[in-house]
């Protein structure tokens, strides 16, 4: 056995010890590995990264209930596809980052909710909305299954990444675009970079400037963070090109650099985003 492989195994075992010894059954881990091998979003992961991703996905399937609504049955393949996408942003953070929710609820199609929300002008609205995903502070993660299934395709949007970014944002309170930062990260640098970029993006949207980033990001600082998180993992080269400081902050926060492992995607090849995923 080479020193490199020994080092990888040591890192994986150390990471698993920090999981608290709770491990998914081997058969489930094998299903996760097979699904991960064909998921475009997970291209380029090292053996060590793949190991941690699969272990975390298995742990999430042990810890979190996955419930299908409106008569939809949830099989193992569906659970694995969801869990791997959920695990990717927290691959280097561990299960504690997922501690503020206990259940993922899947609808067989986009779903209707009645809610109150604020627009970018601060005006409060109330009514029905058709959503593909919704995150709740200390509540369930609600997702449209067809959109979960189509999300990991490197086309610039991913409802699972979007909603789990909201959940990370809500680890210290309601979502506001300012998640709890790791030791050594500079809160002032984070706030300065995100506030400046958000204000500039809102001005561009108001002027009708069209680019690759979903205009929905202008709805609030929380949505800006969630949409940029999608872009960070799905189209990292474009994110690093146009938002270099935000990319650096996201790399520090998520403790990974997707641009090192994923191929570049042409801007004109991106698909239009789906309907808004969060009120």
Reading phi first (left if > 0) and then psi (alpha if -120 to 50, else beta), residue 205 is in: alpha
Count how many domains the chain has: 1
Name the pTM for this structure. Answer: 0.85
Does a structural domain hold residue 26?
Answer: yes
Does a structural domain hold residue 189?
Answer: yes
Mean pLDDT computed over every residue of the chain:
88
Does a structural domain hold residue 275?
Answer: no
**Integer Cα distance of 47 and 199 in angstroms:** 40
Q: What is the mean pLDDT of residues 23-38?
A: 93
Q: Do the strands 141-144 and 133-135 form a parallel or antiparallel pair, or are they unpaired?
A: antiparallel
**Integer Cα distance of 95 and 89 in angstroms:** 11
Residue 14's pLDDT is 44
User: Residue 197: is its pLDDT beyond 60?
Assistant: yes
Does a structural domain hold residue 112?
Answer: yes
Q: What is the mean pLDDT of residues 161-167?
A: 97
Does a structural domain hold residue 222?
Answer: yes
**Integer Cα distance of 146 and 132 in angstroms:** 9
Does a structural domain hold residue 107?
Answer: yes
Q: What is the pLDDT of residues 241-267, one digit of tens each?
A: 999 999 999 999 999 999 999 999 888
> What CATH number does residue 147 fall under?
1.10.472.150
Give the position of tokens 């094998």. Answer: 30
Does a structural domain hold residue 132?
Answer: yes
Does a structural domain hold residue 259?
Answer: yes
Nearby residues of 5 by Cβ (< 8 Å), 6 or more positions away: none
Range of the domain at 232: 3-269
Reported as a pLDDT band with limits 50, 70 and 90, residue 8 is very low
């Amino acid at each position: 056995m080479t020193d490199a492989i020994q080092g990888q195994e040591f890192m994986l075992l150390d990471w698993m010890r920090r999981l608290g010894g709770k491990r998914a059954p081997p058969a489930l881990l094998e299903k996760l590995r097979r699904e991960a091998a064909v998921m475009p979003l997970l291209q380029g992961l090292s053996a060590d990264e793949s190991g941690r991703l699969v272990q975390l996905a298995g742990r999430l399937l042990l810890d979190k209930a996955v419930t299908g609504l409106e008569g939809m049955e949830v099989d193992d393949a569906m659970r694995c596809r969801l869990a791997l996408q959920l695990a990717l942003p927290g691959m280097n953070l561990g299960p504690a980052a997922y501690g503020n929710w206990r259940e993922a609820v899947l609808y067989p199609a986009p779903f209707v909710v009645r809610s109150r929300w604020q627009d970018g002008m601060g005006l409060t609205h109330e009514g029905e909305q058709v959503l593909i995903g919704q995150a709740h502070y200390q509540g369930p993660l609600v997702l449209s299954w067809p959109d979960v299934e189509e999300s990991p395709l490197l086309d610039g949007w991913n409802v699972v990444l979007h909603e789990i970014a909201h959940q990370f944002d809500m680890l210290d309170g309601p979502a506001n675009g300012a998640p709890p930062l790791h030791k050594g990260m500079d809160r002032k640098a984070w706030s300065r970079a995100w506030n400046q970029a958000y204000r500039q993006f809102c001005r561009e949207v108001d002027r009708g400037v069209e680019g690759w980033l979903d205009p929905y990001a202008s709805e609030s600082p929380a949505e800006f963070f969630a949409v940029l998180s999608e872009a960070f993992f799905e189209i990292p080269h474009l994110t690093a090109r146009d938002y270099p400081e935000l990319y650096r902050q996201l790399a520090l926060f998520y403790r990974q650099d997707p641009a090192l492992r994923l191929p570049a995607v042409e801007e004109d090849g991106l698909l239009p985003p789906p309907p808004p995923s969060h009120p």
